[in-house]
Structure 1
Amino acid sequence: MDKLAIFDVDYTITRKETLMELFKYVISKDKKMIKFLPRAIFSGTMYGVGIYDERKVKEKFLKFIDKIEEKHLVDLVKSFYEDRLSKLLYKDALDMMKKLKHEGYKIFLISASPEFYLTELYAIKEVDLIIGTKFLFEEGKFARKMDGFNCKGEEKVKRLMEVIKTENIDVDFENSYMFSDSLSDKPLLDLVGKPYLINYKKKHEFEILKWN
Structure 2
Amino acid sequence: MTLALFDFDGTLTSKDSLGEFLKYSVSREKYIINMLKFTPYFILWQLKLMRNDIAKQKLFKLFYDEIDEEVFKELATKFSLKKIDTIIRKERLEILKNHQANGDRVVIVSASVQCWIQPWCDKNNIELLSTQLEFKNKKFTGRFLTKNCHGIEKENRIRELLHVEDYETVYAYGDSSGDTQMLALADKAILY
Letter in structure 2 aligned against 1:181? D
| TM value normalised by structure 2 | 0.90
Residue 181 of structure 2 corresponds to: 187
Give me the whole-angstrom Cα distance separating, in 2, the residues matched to 1:6 and 1:187: 12
The corresponding residue for 2:30 is: 33
Please say if residues 98 and 126 of structure 1, whose CA atoms lie closer than 8 Å, have aligned partners that are also in contact: no
Give the TM-score, by structure 1 length.
0.82
- Cα distance in 1, alignment partners of residues 89 and 133 from structure 2: 27
Within 5 Å, give how 1:63-142 maps onto structure 2: 63-127=62-126, 129-142=127-140
Q: Kindly provide the amino acid, as one letter, of the partner of residue 36 in structure 1.
A: N
In the alignment, is the contact (CA less than 8 A) between 1:4 and 1:105 conserved in 2? Answer: yes
| Ranges in structure 1 where 5+ consecutive residues have no aligned partner | 199-212
Give the letter aligned to residue 10 of structure 1: D
Identity percentage of aligned residues: 25
Which of residues 33, 46, 49 in structure 2 aligns to 1:48? 46
Contact 2:7 2:173 in 1 (8 A): yes
Which residue identity does 1:104 align to in structure 2? G
Measured in 2, the distance between the counterparts of 1:50 and 1:191 equals 26
Cα distance between partner residues in 2 of 1:58 and 1:102: 36
Say whether 1:177 aligns with 2:175: no
Deviation of residue 50 (structure 1)?
2.2
Task: Report the counterpart of residue 60 of structure 1 in structure 2.
Answer: 58
C-alpha displacement of 1:194: 1.1
Unaligned runs of 5+ in 2: none
Cα distance change, pair 39–171 in 1 and its aligned pair in 2 (3 A): farther
Q: Is the 8 A contact 2:18 2:112 kept in 1?
A: yes
